[in-house]
Structure 1
Amino acid sequence: MSILKNISFLSSSDAVEANEYLTDALGTNPLLLTELDLSKVKLKDHNWEKLSAFLLDSCCIVEKIMLNKCEVTKKMCSVLATVLSKNKLLKEMDLNSSPLLDSGVKKICEGLKKSSLKILNLSDCSISEEGYKALASALRSNPSHLIELDLRGNDPGQSGVKELVEMQQRSSLKTLRFFQGPAEETYQYLIRVFKQNPLISKELNLNETKLDLEKVNQLAVLLQDKHFRINTLQLSKCDLTEESCSVLASVLSSDSSSLKELDLSNNNLQDSGVKQLWNGLKNNNCTLEKLNLSDCSISEEGYKALASALRSNLSHLIELDLRGNDPGQSGVKELTDLLEDRYTKLKTLRFLSPDAEKACKYVPGLVGKDPFLVRELNLRDQKLGDTNIKYLAALLQDKHCKLNTIQLLKCSITEEQCVILTSALKSNPSHLRELDLSENQIKNRAVNLLCDVLKDSHCKLETLRLRCCSLTDEGCSAVTSALKSNPSHLRELDLSQIKLGDSGVNNLFDLLKNPQSKLDKLHLCGCSITEEKCEILTSALKSNPSHLRELNLSQNQIRNTGVNLLCDLLKDSHCKLETLSLHDCGITDVSSLAQCLTDTKALQFLKELDLSNNNLEDSEKKLIDAMQDSTCNLKLKSEETAKSTGGWLRWFKS
């Protein structure tokens, strides 16, 4: 037997026993090792006492200890704390995947306060917020040694990350690992882009960053890591898609997400994207409080999906922004009904732009009213000014606005203001049914924009009044041309006191004879219509007479020729004209009209006939006789009217 076999360099019997045990378990004398991997060595509490003696012996040269996936006991943690505080050679300790819990970490932290350790790996050790706080406290007590700390796969709670990140700034700690794989890549990318640690802030602003699906997936992994506890995520103008929404829905559904506010504005998500988000919003894990979906090309179906999701999970969302989308017929109601639900926390629904909201506060006729219920706006004789015009335009172009009727008669609207209003109508033409811009100086520039509205296939305008609008022949021609291209909805047209040139009359001719035209009221008072132009118009009306109910040609010099042409129209059995105004038309003879009314069934329909301010001479009596048994109101003089009722003729003041 060799005498060297009994020689020992170790100072205690416990150290000797530990050395022998480890030599047997590892197949190598640990006195020769600088790295000691005990991950697969089964150590009971009494073994730990002996191991402590070995590791603290002056002959031990171990610099790194690995204890991965080990069964953790109080004794183990106490021994490690002792070794950390007394072994100045030990530089690295790896406890990955060993369930230390907070209690074990706190024990180890007692040793860290006096340790020379450089690297400590604690990934997947079931550590929570209290453990993080203990580590931060220990490192504050001994800030000069540890340079790397790995805490991946643990749960820092609300403040764990903050405690350590703040501590890192005042210590030698260079590497603080919280994230694994793709999450770490995304985290490092954010640091490079923003030149600061995103863990410091509760908000991540990625607005106008182009995010393809791969980047969205990487971001989602980071967002679902419990170390990345941001409350606000801004993704406006990021080119997000339906697939992006599906990924984000998984984030909202995650029990590890801390998101309270999400901004997805100005992305073309459409209804399909919103329906993907629906899967996240309805999940009980979703704690989102504010969601911005403004300008996301969402329509009625998307609104319904959101309402359904919020009914499924009423507990958190308090604010929803849907400005710049199109709710269709029922979208607004679907969501506003939720505000009445006593179980929901939803307090704020944003549909209108800031300027549109100001319209509801300052524009006369809107103040104090629900803008979503207002269908008619009468601002007659109101001097609105530039500011209110701007607010009104914002409301008109908002698709949440369902105004059907806008009356702006004599509002002192300038050409520039009219340009603003018509531009707004151009962006949202589908709801408007009646527009009255009479007696405003709209002129040709604004008319061109108005024509774009009239040509739009979405335009369903039924009544257009442009009386006394200072239009030139060119402007009038443009309007009639635009109406000609989209004739099927218009029911009433008032172009009174606007000079109709040849092109305007020809366009009007095309409009009136179009079988699609359903025009029943046509006001052309004071339009410089001559006998020749009257022939063109009546020719068109004869080709499509069945819809017209009211025709006003007053203050045009159509003379007797014009009356004869109108008689041809009245003779048509399809004509059902109820009101005919021929005031001040240079007419001297209505014999043909009297004969027409006697010979046809026109008086079955005609209710009002105005021939005032014409010098009818002897033919006047013929007309009165012809109308004696009718119920038609006959106006022959500006100051008096003849009315026939039940066969009796009566005169009364007009």
Structure 2
Amino acid sequence: MSRLTETRISCGSSSPSHLIELDLTGNDPGQSGVKQLSDLLQDPDCQLKTLRFLSSAADEACQYVTGIVGKNLLLLRELNLSERELGDTRVNQISALLQDKHCTLNTLILRKCVLTEESCSALATVLRSNSSLKELDMSNNNLLDSGVKKLQNGLENTNRTLKKLRLSDCSITEESYKALASALRSNPSHLIELDLTGNDPGQSGVKELNDLLQDPNCQLKTLRFLSPAAEEACQYVTGIVCKNPLLLRELNLREHELGDTRVNQISALLQDKHCKLNTLILNNSSITPEDCRVLTEALHSNPSNLIELDLSGNKLGDSGNEKICHLLENTQCKLEKLKVSDCSITEEAYKALASALRSNPSHLIELDLTGNDPGQSGVMVLSDLLQDE
């Protein structure tokens, strides 16, 4: 029996009243053939009750999706099913459809669809077999590392055409980052954009990605795992210190006039879970009281890593010092060394510092106030503090 191709279907116009069932399963009509069939079904004179050219699972997916988007899925280039609780059954059906030769989707968006590890397994099969899919967005699903490892198998297929993969806010850790880096090393030529924003890779995960980007065979043009502001800070700092700050324990930006924009970006970087800095040096960096507020608020939200902070040589004044005191009062703050020499602070600031250290006395072991004027009462307050057991 000869194989059917996309020969023009004209039964609707020549004799529309007789045929009620047409089975074309297992043939390849191409995109125009699918359109011919779709147009035929819209003809009011067409009497077809049953038209088959997909597998049963793919046909169910096609009907389900057509009911949502109001158009035959096989005629679409992009499908967005975000915020629908698909469940494994629906994902399996959609995966069957994506593997069908009739489907030529370029973009599939499945954000907030309650995807599971089994969903990842089905979609990994798609990545191995589908030759049209260029963009896959699975963000905001609880995929976990086990799910991403399933996807790894699909990404390692050297024949695939996927260009963009989004996995932001998927509860994945450094194990997933390692798995993805491994997949992209084994098959470096296809993926140009990878979005991992909102996940926590740990220090080793960041290193895996950093090493991957140094690979001359790696084709990634866009790698996201930071907020936009933090990403800009990362690029700025890398340009100064010649190393990714996410791999550093100490960041020294002394005598760089940062300005409000840079301070906001660095604050965003400090808030990011990828940042593990222990020491931040910003002396003589034109930090203002408002900048100080932004920085200390950032450290409030991610207070456990920083051990040493140097803000010397900036005109913080008593208002900037007040923000620092609020940080010192945070019981999660692990700051051990604070340097605020030559910061234009007065005896009021000394009193505030003493009060903060009394309320949370166990962490700070070094405080540098050189070049400020405490007045007589400021000296007394600090002296009394040192007598406190």
Do the two structures share a fold, i.e. TM-score over 0.5? yes
User: Could you tell me which residue of structure 1 aligns to residue 166 of structure 2?
Assistant: 292
Aligned: 1:468 with 2:317: yes
Give the 3 Å change call, closer, same or farther, for CA 535–433 of structure 1 in structure 2.
Answer: closer
CA contact (8 A) 1:360 1:369 kept: no
Q: Equivalents in 1 of 2:36, 2:165: separation in Å?
A: 34
CA contact (8 A) 1:263 1:292 kept: yes
Percent identity over the alignment is 43
Q: Equivalents in 1 of 2:216, 2:379: separation in Å?
A: 70
For structure 1, list consecutive stretches of 5 or more residues without a partner in the other structure: 1-99, 103-130, 442-466, 544-654
Within the candidate set 319, 324, 335, 2:209 is matched to: 335
The one-letter code of the counterpart of 1:189 is Y
User: Could you tell me which residue of structure 2 aligns to residue 376 of structure 1?
Assistant: 251
Q: Partner of 2:172: helix, strand, or coil? A: coil
Tell me the TM-score normalized by structure 2: 0.77
CA contact (8 A) 2:155 2:184 kept: yes
Q: Equivalents in 1 of 2:115, 2:211: separation in Å?
A: 29
Structure 1 stretch displaced more, 185-194 or 395-404: 395-404
User: Could you tell me which residue of structure 2 aligns to residue 649 of structure 1?
Assistant: none
The one-letter code of the counterpart of 1:133 is E
Aligned: 1:154 with 2:55: no
Structure 1 stretch displaced more, 163-172 or 233-242: 163-172
Q: Equivalents in 1 of 2:296, 2:154: separation in Å?
A: 41
User: Could you tell me which residue of structure 1 aligns to residue 32 of structure 2?
Assistant: 163
CA contact (8 A) 1:251 1:280 kept: yes
Report 1:439-588 matches (<5 A). Answer: 468-470=317-319, 478-482=326-330, 485-486=331-332, 489-492=335-338, 494=340, 497=346, 499-500=348-349, 505-509=354-358, 511=360, 514=362, 517=363, 519-523=365-369, 525-528=372-375, 529=377, 533-540=381-388, 543=389
Give the 3 Å change call, closer, same or farther, for CA 166–498 of structure 1 in structure 2.
Answer: farther
Report 1:218-233 matches (<5 A). Answer: 218-233=93-108
Aligned: 1:265 with 2:149: no
Q: Equivalents in 1 of 2:258, 2:117: separation in Å?
A: 47
User: Could you tell me which residue of structure 1 aligns to residue 83 of structure 2?
Assistant: 208
Q: Partner of 1:167: helix, strand, or coil? A: helix
Give the 3 Å change call, closer, same or farther, for CA 383–531 of structure 1 in structure 2.
Answer: closer
Within the candidate set 71, 80, 84, 1:196 is matched to: 71
Q: Partner of 2:35: helix, strand, or coil? A: helix
> Displacement, 1:283?
4.2
> Displacement, 1:472?
7.8
Q: Deviations over 1:109-160 (max 9, x none)?
A: xxxxxxxxxxxxxxxxxxxxxx3222x2xx259744356674554152xxx3
Q: Deviations over 1:483-514 (max 9, x none)?
A: xx3475513354853525767535424655x4
The structure richer in helix per residue is 2
Give the 3 Å change call, closer, same or farther, for CA 290–167 of structure 1 in structure 2.
Answer: same
Q: Partner of 1:470: helix, strand, or coil? A: helix
CA contact (8 A) 2:82 2:109 kept: yes
Within the candidate set 47, 52, 70, 1:177 is matched to: 52
> Displacement, 1:334?
1.8
User: Could you tell me which residue of structure 2 aligns to residue 101 of structure 1?
Assistant: 2
> Displacement, 1:294?
2.1
Q: Partner of 2:348: helix, strand, or coil? A: coil
What is the Cα-based RMSD across aligned positions, in Å? 3.8
Aligned: 1:323 with 2:197: yes
> Displacement, 1:348?
3.9
Aligned: 1:246 with 2:121: yes
Q: Partner of 2:202: helix, strand, or coil? A: coil
Structure with greater contact order relative to length (CA < 8 Å, sep ≥ 6): 2
Give the 3 Å change call, closer, same or farther, for CA 319–364 of structure 1 in structure 2.
Answer: closer
Give the 3 Å change call, closer, same or farther, for CA 276–365 of structure 1 in structure 2.
Answer: closer
> Displacement, 1:191?
1.0
User: Could you tell me which residue of structure 2 aligns to residue 133 of structure 1?
Assistant: 6
Q: Equivalents in 1 of 2:243, 2:178: separation in Å?
A: 21
The one-letter code of the counterpart of 1:491 is K
The one-letter code of the counterpart of 2:373 is G
Q: Equivalents in 2 of 1:432, 1:151: separation in Å?
A: 68
CA contact (8 A) 2:306 2:334 kept: no
The one-letter code of the counterpart of 1:145 is S
CA contact (8 A) 2:140 2:167 kept: yes
The one-letter code of the counterpart of 2:387 is S
CA contact (8 A) 1:143 1:170 kept: no
Q: Equivalents in 2 of 1:430, 1:509: separation in Å?
A: 20
The one-letter code of the counterpart of 2:138 is L
> Displacement, 1:181?
2.8
Q: Equivalents in 2 of 1:304, 1:324: separation in Å?
A: 16
The one-letter code of the counterpart of 1:101 is S
Q: Deviations over 1:204-246 (max 9, x none)?
A: 1112223223322332232233322312211122232333323
Q: Equivalents in 2 of 1:502, 1:314: separation in Å?
A: 59
The one-letter code of the counterpart of 2:386 is T
Q: Equivalents in 1 of 2:297, 2:213: separation in Å?
A: 33
For structure 2, list consecutive stretches of 5 or more residues without a partner in the other structure: none
Give the 3 Å change call, closer, same or farther, for CA 225–359 of structure 1 in structure 2.
Answer: same
> Displacement, 1:162?
1.3
The one-letter code of the counterpart of 2:348 is K
> Displacement, 1:187?
1.2
> Displacement, 1:303?
0.6
Q: Equivalents in 2 of 1:520, 1:418: separation in Å?
A: 20
Q: Equivalents in 1 of 2:270, 2:89: separation in Å?
A: 40
Q: Equivalents in 1 of 2:241, 2:364: separation in Å?
A: 37
Give the 3 Å change call, closer, same or farther, for CA 149–315 of structure 1 in structure 2.
Answer: farther
Query: Could you say which structure has the larger radius of gyration?
Result: 1
Tell me the TM-score normalized by structure 1: 0.49
User: Could you tell me which residue of structure 2 aligns to residue 592 of structure 1?
Assistant: none
Give the 3 Å change call, closer, same or farther, for CA 142–504 of structure 1 in structure 2.
Answer: closer
Q: Equivalents in 1 of 2:233, 2:198: separation in Å?
A: 16
Give the 3 Å change call, closer, same or farther, for CA 339–538 of structure 1 in structure 2.
Answer: closer
